[in-house]
Amino acid sequence: MTSFVQNLFSARQRFIVVPLLAVFLLVQANVAKAVTLLRDPDIEYALQQIALPILNAAGLGNSVKILVVNDSSLNAFVIDHKHIFIHSGLVMRMNSPDMLRAVIAHEAAHIANGHLARRQQNVGTAKTVAGLGIALSALAGAVSGNAEAAAGAALGISSSSRRVFLSHTRAEEASADSSGLNYMVRSGADTQGAVDVFEIFRGQELLTPGRQDPYVRSHPLSRDRLRTAKSTAQAHAGKAKKDAAAIYWFGRAQGKLSAFLRNPKWTKRTLKNSPSEDVRLMRQAIVFHRQSNSKKAIATLDKAIAMRPKDPFFHELRGQFLIESRQAKAAAASYKRCVDIAPNNALCLGSYGRALLAAGQTKTALRALERARSIDFRDGRILRDLASAYAKSGNGGMAAVASAERYALQGRMKDAGIQAKRGAGLLPEGSSGWRRAQDIILAAKRAEKKK
């Protein structure tokens, strides 16, 4: 994790980068609004630990990843069978892991119950860089204020049959409620969490659409849904088991998000509310880092590392502090420790490769970045750094392909097509890189036809 996009693309604004959470610009909607993902290995791991019992109950397991959208509003959604997207504002608004599990259970039910079929027939399975980029382009349209038209255009839906991309029917909502509550019961989660989530949104349907949280617009509420949740909660009152691990990871994810997204003064005031001493130290270290006090940030984080020496994500955070203090070699050493503990974490590998690249170790960086991309293609920074590493190694064809994939993830299909054609022309026909370029070229052609 390296930088956080605090000011998004705007027709009248420049792009400003502040050293915070790693964030990846995905799509630009109507120039004035962008959709961003906050890519952080620690937060994503924490959310996956919270979600896994629910996902297992739904028969989905680790095939579904939980990703965080940089948006202070309250929302969660699915666009394919592989991802559940949750707004950072919703994560920070939840008061317990079971509230978050209720949201995840509901979205998992939409996947497990086949509610994505009407979208999937238009957008495909989003298994490739281009596929996910197109899907996220549709998402950008859906949140841009002209959801129906923009999403319809991105998906190639005729004007007579366009629907709001993220919306579910009331029948689907009732089905997802029933299945989601069942997943919570089977996994041992407290179904009161679902009631608490509904209570947050209670009464919002009476507000004008512009004042409603997006979750209400895409997940229509009703008294019957709340009544069903309350009935289930009452029937299973006292049966849920206390999950100490979920409480810890929930507090850690929420604590790290808030430490990076909220004012450092707020974080300092709330340090005492941290779920454990190591999380308190992590949050305090982030405050020092944001105040450009690198020495205190490292010293404080080292205390947390001493408490959990085999925790890869504390070493990853240490690497971030160092790379953003322009200490590339020292950062690479911290990232290597992280990768030694978590060798299959793509975000950690990407950060390691980035530090190696900054330290001038191009060959080693290229190996780390290639492995990171092979595990997870959803991080634009990895693709950007990979393109740079290829270029420095003299491989212009693969540099162009990596650039094409990054543009595709941003929804910039015209630019992606140009780079993909360049890459295909420089690479041996039939090679892996050439085939990746062909995927982008075809996707760019489809996107152009649907304009």
- Judgement on whether residues 215 and 349 belong to the same structural domain of the protein: no
| Exposure on the CB side of residue 210, measured as CA atoms within 13 A | 0
pLDDT band, residue 379 (cuts 50/70/90): confident
The domain that holds 24 is classified in CATH as 3.30.2010.10
- Judgement on whether residues 261 and 118 belong to the same structural domain of the protein: no
- Judgement on whether residues 329 and 368 belong to the same structural domain of the protein: yes
Contacts of 247 (CB under 8 A, 6+ apart): 96, 97, 275
Place of tokens 């309350």: 230
* Total structural domains within the chain: 2
Alpha helices by DSSP H, listed for 202-243, are 214-218, 223-235
Is residue 202 domain-resident? yes
pLDDT band, residue 435 (cuts 50/70/90): very high
Choosing from 179, 210, 235, the residue where a domain stops is 235
Residue 343's domain comprises 250-449
Q: Where are the beta strands (DSSP E) in 92-161?
A: none
Please report the DSSP string for 391-424 in residue order. HHTT-HHHHHHHHHHHHHHTT-HHHHHHHHHHHH
Is residue 244 domain-resident? no
Q: What is the pLDDT of residues 290-349, one digit of tens each?
A: 999 999 999 999 999 999 999 999 999 999 999 999 999 999 999 999 999 999 999 999
Q: What are phi and psi of 259, to 5 degrees?
A: -65, -30
- Judgement on whether residues 208 and 173 belong to the same structural domain of the protein: yes
- Judgement on whether residues 312 and 408 belong to the same structural domain of the protein: yes
Contacts of 401 (CB under 8 A, 6+ apart): 419, 420, 423, 424, 427, 433, 436, 437, 440
Is residue 241 domain-resident? no
Cα distance between residue 132 and residue 113, in whole Å: 21
Q: What is the pLDDT of residues 131-182, one digit of tens each?
A: 666 666 655 544 444 433 333 333 333 333 334 444 556 677 888 888 999 9
Q: What are phi and psi of 32, to 5 degrees?
A: -85, -10
- Judgement on whether residues 25 and 120 belong to the same structural domain of the protein: yes
Q: What is the pLDDT of residues 395-419, one digit of tens each?
A: 999 999 999 999 988 878 899 999 9
pLDDT (0 to 100) of residue 75: 86
- Judgement on whether residues 152 and 272 belong to the same structural domain of the protein: no
